Amino acid sequence: MKKRLRYVAPLQCGIVLGVFYLVLSVLFVPFILLPVLLRKGSSSPAIFGGAFVILIPLLYGAIGFIGGIIAAAFYNLVAKWTGGLEFEVAEAPPKLPDAAV
């Protein structure tokens, strides 16, 4: 069965993308920060590292939120002109019960 996506709620899209980017940054920041903390020398990398761990996920979350709102609003505008994305959906087959062990 074919469906059309004609509207995306901008605020909801912003929330979803904001959380998505925040979680991704929390997962990847330690790998980016590790070389900075392992570098020998002054204590400034440690201070920078602490701020980095806190600020980067918040910044990525905010960018994802704002970007999501802008992207959804732009999609809605384009969807008015073009009719939106067309996609096909199908009913999911019923889940089989777990076999007894």
pLDDT digits (tens, 9 = 90+) for 32-66: 777 766 766 555 656 666 677 788 889 999 999 99
The whole-angstrom separation of Cα 7 and Cα 40 is 53
Lowest mean pLDDT among 2-16, 19-33, 44-58: 44-58
Q: Are 52 and 29 in contact (CB under 8 A)?
A: yes
Cβ distance 64 to 13 under 8 Å? no
pTM of this prediction? Answer: 0.73
pLDDT for the residue 11? 97
Alpha-carbon distances of 43 from 30, 31, 50, 56, rounded to whole Å: 18, 19, 11, 20
> Comparing C-alpha atoms, which of 14, 15, 1, 2 is closest to residue 76?
14
Give me the residue spans of the domains in the chain.
Answer: 2-88
pLDDT value at residue 21: 95
For residue 30, give every residue at least 6 positions away whose Cβ sits within 8 Å of its Cβ, in sequence order, or none: 53
